Amino acid sequence: MTLFKNIETFNKYTGLPKPLDDNIDIGYYDVPKMRLKSEPVSIDFYRISIKSNFIDKSVSGFNPNNAKPVTALFFNSPDLSIGWDIEPTFNGIYLQFSKKLIEENRFLFKNYYDYGQHEPLLLIEKEEEEIRIIFDLMLKYYNSEKENFVVLISYVHVLVSVVESFYKRQFSSNPVQYSPIVSEFQQLLMNYYNQPINQIPTVQYFADKLGLTPNYLGDIIKHFTHKSAIENIHDFVMAKAKEMLEKRSDLNTTEIAYALGFEYPNYFSKFFKKQMSITPKKYRSLQLMKK
């Protein structure tokens, strides 16, 4: 798979203009000059793009006789492969920026989304208008002198913050699409402990099973349960631990620790005490006293 380490080489490949800056690039798509089909490639920087009247032929189950164009905002991040096969019907704007820019302005980008290209934000008309206004302001300061760079980065932060609120609207307005993901996650978590295991499950594990990025899955889980995905996992592990301490008298606490996927028994003891303020052994003895 080809890795594009900088914005300039990727732009050359896709048919976009050469960036004015090595760390940030903003522009309008010139569709007739662009590569409309590509095998999966990888980029070592971040991309946000808004596309109107967009038809993606590479999505699963694409039917050319029933293709409905969408207006959507897409994220692409380092370490995620992207490939495309798109109709030349769209228009839009793109923003690309380096990992260096993110790291040097981490205080602004605590909530940046590492979502995949098939986890877009589907925009309603007023949201598209608002995002395009922000893009236009970013483009204005991008094309001006370097002294306005702080203003430009501030508008990038505004864009990411606005997108956060729009994703919450998308999750809330379409529970039929998103709530089943929560149910599948919970079922997978239960199934995980119905098999021999050697580690505590991770968010990445469930994201891979569901074909989602960890951040996207985590945000859906948090939206509907009001707890992060890892908090849901830890709650389940704790419930399982208490159940085993109460009912599995044939197992000592070390054996229970291994059965739950803890690599070391002392990790289990610290984990349990953090949640319950007492050790597993103390919890078990208190439960025996109640009987």
Residues 118 and 10 in one domain: yes
In this structure, is residue 158 part of a structural domain?
Answer: no
Per residue in 178-190, pLDDT tens?
Answer: 889 999 999 999 9
In this structure, is residue 168 part of a structural domain?
Answer: no
In this structure, is residue 132 part of a structural domain?
Answer: no
Averaged pLDDT for residues 96-104: 88
Q: Please give the residue range of the domain that contains residue 252.
A: 177-290
Residues 199 and 112 in one domain: no
Count structural domains, the chain. Answer: 2
Contact (CB, 8 A) for 224 and 263: no
In this structure, is residue 242 part of a structural domain?
Answer: yes
What is the pLDDT, as a whole number, of residue 142? 87
Q: Which residue has the higher pLDDT, 179 or 58?
A: 179
* Helices 175-192/214-225 angle, 10° precision: 100
Domain end position, chosen among 82, 105, 123: 123
Residues 263 and 189 in one domain: yes
In this structure, is residue 145 part of a structural domain?
Answer: no
Averaged pLDDT for residues 11-36: 94
What is the pLDDT, as a whole number, of residue 144? 75
Residues 10 and 97 in one domain: yes
Contact (CB, 8 A) for 19 and 7: yes
Residues 8 and 101 in one domain: yes
In this structure, is residue 284 part of a structural domain?
Answer: yes
Residues 115 and 189 in one domain: no
Backbone angles phi, psi at 277, to 5 degrees: 70, 5
What's the CATH code of the domain at 281? 1.10.10.60
In this structure, is residue 140 part of a structural domain?
Answer: no
Domain end position, chosen among 92, 123, 154: 123
Worst-scoring range by mean pLDDT, 52-61, 222-231, 265-274? Answer: 52-61
Residues 6+ apart with CB under 8 A from 178: 171, 220, 223, 224
Contact (CB, 8 A) for 112 and 161: no
In this structure, is residue 199 part of a structural domain?
Answer: yes
> Is pLDDT above 80 for 290?
no
Position 209 confidence tier, pLDDT thresholds 50, 70, 90: very high
DSSP string, the chain: --EE-SHHHHHHHHTPPPPSSSSEEEEE--GGGS--EEEEEEESEEEEEEEEEE-BTTSTT--GGG---EEEEEEE-TT-EEEEEB-TT-EEEEEEEEHHHHHHTTTT-TT-----TTS-EEPPHHHHHHHHHHHHHHHHHHSS-GGGHHHHHHHHHHHHHHHHHHHHHHHHH-HHHHHHHHHHHHHHHHHHTTS--SS---HHHHHHHHTS-HHHHHHHHHHHHSS-HHHHHHHHHHHHHHHHHHH-TTS-HHHHHHHHT-SSHHHHHHHHHHHHSS-HHHHHHHHHHH-
Domain end position, chosen among 123, 140, 168: 123
Q: Which residue has the higher pLDDT, 234 or 213?
A: 234
Percent of the chain with pLDDT over 90: 52
What's the CATH code of the domain at 75? 2.60.120
